[in-house]
Amino acid sequence: MSSENKQGFPAHNPLTSYWLKDPHPLASFRSSEYVPHECDIAIIGTGLAGVATAYHILSDPSINTAKLKVVLLEARQACSGATGRNGGHLKLAAWIARHTILNFGYQAAEEVVAHQLNQLSAIHGIAEKENIDCELRVTRSFDVFFDESHASETREFISACKEKGVAWAEDIEWIEASRSDEITGMKNTKGALGVPAVSLWPYKLVTGLLEKVLELGGKLYTETYVEKVEELRNYTNLTTSRGSINARKTIFATNAYTAALLPQFEGVITPFKGQNSHLSPIPSFHPTKPLDYTYNLHFNSKYADYLNPRPDNGIILGGGKWTYEDKLDRAEWWNTTDDTNLINDASTEHFDLVMETHFQGWEEAKAQHDSVWTGIMGQTPDSFPHIGRVPGSENQWLLAGFNGAGMTMICTASRGIARMVLDERDYDETGLPKVFKSTFERLGVKNSGFASD
């Protein structure tokens, strides 16, 4: 049986997302017909996590990259997983801060939110340094509330944080219901949060970085399944669909697919499917006020959509989870890696109504879908990613299980992984949030987390 048909592995022939509609020249690139027999560092996965890690390793001025053999392995085309299927924005996520405070305390939340804010400058800095045209904009994002009780609960939470002098709360602006329609450009809102954000074309960022990785000496093997992993004394043997490779060090940037290769993560990083779309208004439509911000539309405390306006008036809109979570067989979207089909038509029908229903001046825009796709995310029981050395391993590391919020975590997490791998630094020396560290204890945690946005 080929790996593409095994449970937990990436599915063959996934739906094409809007971001992936024009494949990059490296999409199906391979540095040679077969993988090399050995390498210093193997990185499995070419989304933002894998490529950014390779970039941080190979651009490190303290090492001789000419002598360092770094190999990237990708089961499908480059950046064809969650990074190439997401909402295209990253922001200060207040709901993650609240979840962290409730479960781990204020200090843990300080670390998590500081990490989020670091992403905004880090990702902008990389794109600028490497001159990558990925339509990156430093902007603001609105968390808009349509449920009064949820809005009130959020307002009280932010007020309490400000009263305590929590540093990150100063980056959040609460907008009362009396002003939120006017400021957000929406209708019938019950309040909103304004937070720092970055909008970009994620596929263009990653493929631009991938070009740099190859310039620095990295080797790329797309459409190359890793079928088996065996850790030996001083290296890991990776059996792939293009030969076997012995890696002195191995990094799993495999997000939702991690348990397929590391079975100890079964039930710890669970793959689940989400649905996303691109909406296009009719050609004659010209908004009286262009949408300059990104959004999370909170319909209640459990469900939210994410929305990212494009420079050409197109809209990236995803979510719609209430249309299927309690209405379909759970196997249709939970513990599945099948992104070859849509979850349901009800989500798409909902997407087609969002702009005319909720945004001022879009009533006649007829902003409906011209592209709909699914993507696979990785959920963990405590809602935090697993980053660091694979528990019990001597030569394996991972950064995976981002709960649908990878863009708010990956850029500096990958820098931390690079330091651990290159310098054998301990996780605690990286400055990454303590709650992200992969441990034996977390492999046994079983509790429900926050809803993905």
Residue 41 covered by a domain: yes
The whole-number average pLDDT for the span 259-277 is 98
Q: What is the pLDDT of residues 173-184, one digit of tens each?
A: 999 999 999 999
Residue 447 has pLDDT above 60, yes or no: no
- Counting the structural domains of the chain, the total is 2
Residues 282 and 170 in one domain: yes
Residue 106 covered by a domain: no
The whole-number average pLDDT for the span 149-162 is 97
Residue 451 covered by a domain: no
Give the domain CATH number at 32. 3.50.50.60
Residue 35 covered by a domain: yes
Residue 120 covered by a domain: no
Residues 258 and 405 in one domain: yes
Mean confidence (pLDDT) of the chain: 95
Are the beta carbons of 127 and 169 closer than 8 angstroms?
A: no
251 lies in which domain range?
3-85+203-269+382-443
Residues 276 and 255 in one domain: no
Residue 177 covered by a domain: yes
Residue 371 has pLDDT above 70, yes or no: yes
Q: What is the pLDDT of residues 16-29, one digit of tens each?
A: 999 999 999 999 99
Residues 298 and 237 in one domain: no
Residues 193 and 218 in one domain: no
The maximal CA–CA distance of the chain, rounded, in angstroms, is 65
Residue 90 covered by a domain: no
Q: What is the pLDDT of residues 17-66, one digit of tens each?
A: 999 999 999 999 999 999 999 999 999 999 999 999 999 999 998 877 67
Last residue in a domain, options 348, 378, 408: 378
Q: What is the pLDDT of residues 84-118, one digit of tens each?
A: 999 999 999 999 999 999 999 999 999 999 999 99
Give the domain CATH number at 191. 3.30.9.10
Q: What is the pLDDT of residues 324-345, one digit of tens each?
A: 999 999 999 999 999 999 999 9
Residues 333 and 290 in one domain: yes
Residues 72 and 50 in one domain: yes
Residue 46 covered by a domain: yes
Query: For the whole prediction, is pTM greater than 0.75?
Result: yes
Residues 172 and 258 in one domain: no
224: left (phi over 0), alpha (psi -120 to 50) or beta: beta
Residues 264 and 275 in one domain: no
Residues 246 and 323 in one domain: no
Are the beta carbons of 71 and 36 closer than 8 angstroms?
A: yes
Q: Give pLDDT, residue 83.
A: 98
Q: Give pLDDT, residue 31.
A: 98
Are the beta carbons of 208 and 133 closer than 8 angstroms?
A: yes
Last residue in a domain, options 378, 397, 418: 378
b/e string for 335-348 if b means 16 or more Cβ within 10 A?
bbbbbeebbbebbb
The whole-number average pLDDT for the span 266-276 is 98
Residues 372 and 279 in one domain: yes
Q: Give pLDDT, residue 300.
A: 95
Residue 347 has pLDDT above 60, yes or no: yes
Residues 77 and 150 in one domain: no
- Proportion of the chain in helix, strand, coil states, percent, rounded to 5: 35, 25, 40
For the residues of 234-252, what is the DSSP string, one character each?
S-EEEEEBTEEEEEEEEEE
Last residue in a domain, options 378, 406, 428: 378
